[in-house]
Amino acid sequence: MRILLCGGAGYIGAHAYVVLAERGQDVVIADNFSNSSPGVLARLQRITGEPVPFHPLDLRDRGAVVDFFARQPFDAVVHFAALKSVGESCERPLDYFHNNITGTLNLLYGMQAAGVKRLVFSSSATVYGDPASVPVREDASLQVTNPYGRTKLVMEELIGDLCGSDAGFHAANLRYFNPVGAHASGLIGEDPAGIPNNLMPYICQVAVGRRERLSIYGGDYPTPDGTGVRDYIHVMDLARAHADALDYLVHERHNLTVNLGTGQGVSVLQLVNAFADASARDIPYQIVERRPGDVAAVYADPSLANRLLGWQAELGVEAMCRDAWRWQAQNPQGYPAA
């Protein structure tokens, strides 16, 4: 199959590129580098041993998107391209609506005009908001708690409407929980611009000496050690699920919405301790006020993905920390300027 990875230069897209290329797929990356570095392309070439087909493309430009699809045949699209910072989305909601929602609409227009009828979409556990109970199943009620989350929910809905209008169009909504870790080579990994919002890249930057100490947001949650509990999932397990979802769309010809998590809740303190062990570094921290909008505990029931895709997470917290640390230690400042 010839597969387009929109936003494929980003953290998760780059790892999915490796898995798909290893499975012998013909993979093309399109990105505008708004939150990624061109340096990832050379690293992907080192890992796969092949040149990486890349096209600059901004999904906000509908004309360019439609033109792109008219010139290039694809069998499927994996759509990673979005802005993803919850805090930033509260400050700049319109930019998030424009980039994520209009960008997705433009992508769907381009696909429709070119007759491309398979889509794997990067959704998020954020669509569950503050779930009534854990582990969370896919039929839990959906809630919006911030503009970023609204964009994910709207994107799922508009993809669903398109599926409803065309029995030949099939989509997989993959609801990621908390992706962490890196490819075992240490050549690609998460490289956030500025101060990391997410826990694992912050810990990595403390370990490598770029930040003094971690602030743990809240030590008084109703969890076993008082810190927030999440479902961290190794990015290589996550990447594999994209290849499995594409197979499902081809062979089963059904739509799909599945959680991608391990099913295990891990607290902030547990992750900090596991990282300290894996890296043999101290991770200084202080417990501070809760972060507004955070919830106590969210973790997945991943059994539907197991049943429908035959997928399950294989890598545990130790591998997540070891691989994240290898990437950070080998690349203390992230990707080199291309």
Q: Are 170 and 257 in contact (CB under 8 A)?
A: no
Q: Are 113 and 162 in contact (CB under 8 A)?
A: no
Q: Are 4 and 74 in contact (CB under 8 A)?
A: yes
CA separation for the pair 78, 104 (Å, rounded): 11
Active site residue 299: no
In the complex, the smallest distance separating the C-beta of residue 209 from ligand WQD, rounded to whole angstroms, is: 16
Q: Which two tokens stand for residue 283?
A: 């991770």
Q: Is there binding between residue 202 and ligand NAD (CB under 6 A)?
A: no
In the complex, the smallest distance separating the C-beta of residue 2 from ligand WQD, rounded to whole angstroms, is: 28
Q: Look at the block and give the residue holding tokens 């798909």.
A: 20
Q: Is there binding between residue 98 and ligand NAD (CB under 6 A)?
A: no
Q: Is there binding between residue 203 and ligand NAD (CB under 6 A)?
A: no
- Partner that binds at residue 197, options ligand WQD, ligand NAD, none, CB closer than 5 to 8 Å by kind: ligand WQD
Give the up-direction half-sphere exposure of residue 206: CA atoms within 13 A in the CB hemisphere. Answer: 22
Question: Contact with ligand NAD (CB under 6 A): which of 2, 33, 38, 42?
Answer: 33
Binding segment toward ligand NAD, per CB under 6 A, in 9-17, 163-171, 212-220, 224-232: 9-17
Q: Is there binding between residue 80 and ligand NAD (CB under 6 A)?
A: yes
Question: Contact with ligand NAD (CB under 6 A): which of 23, 60, 62, 210?
Answer: 60
Q: Is there binding between residue 159 and ligand NAD (CB under 6 A)?
A: no
Rounded to a whole number of angstroms, the distance between the first and last alpha carbons of the chain is 29
Burial of 71 (0-12, 13-18, 19+ CB in 10 A): exposed
Q: Look at the block and give the residue holding tokens 């290329």.
A: 21
Q: Which amino acid is at 294?
A: D
Per-residue binding string, ligand WQD, 180-219, x by CB under 6 A, is -----------------xxx--x-----------xxxx--
Q: Which two tokens stand for residue 193?
A: 């611009």
Per-residue binding string, ligand WQD, 29-58, x by CB under 6 A, is ------------------------------
- Partner that binds at residue 202, options ligand WQD, ligand NAD, none, CB closer than 5 to 8 Å by kind: ligand WQD
The b/e string for 59-68 (b: 16+ C-beta within 10 A; e otherwise) is: bbeeebbbeb
Q: Tell me the torsion sign for CA atoms 290, 216, 191, 305.
A: negative
- Partner that binds at residue 216, options ligand WQD, ligand NAD, none, CB closer than 5 to 8 Å by kind: ligand WQD
CA separation for the pair 216, 199 (Å, rounded): 9
Q: Is there binding between residue 259 and ligand NAD (CB under 6 A)?
A: no
Q: Name the catalytic one among 17, 128, 148, 221.
A: 148
Residue nearest to ligand WQD (CB): 228
- Catalytic center residues: 148
By CB under 6 A, name the binding residues for ligand WQD. 84, 86, 124, 126, 178, 197-199, 202, 214-217, 228, 230, 268, 291, 294
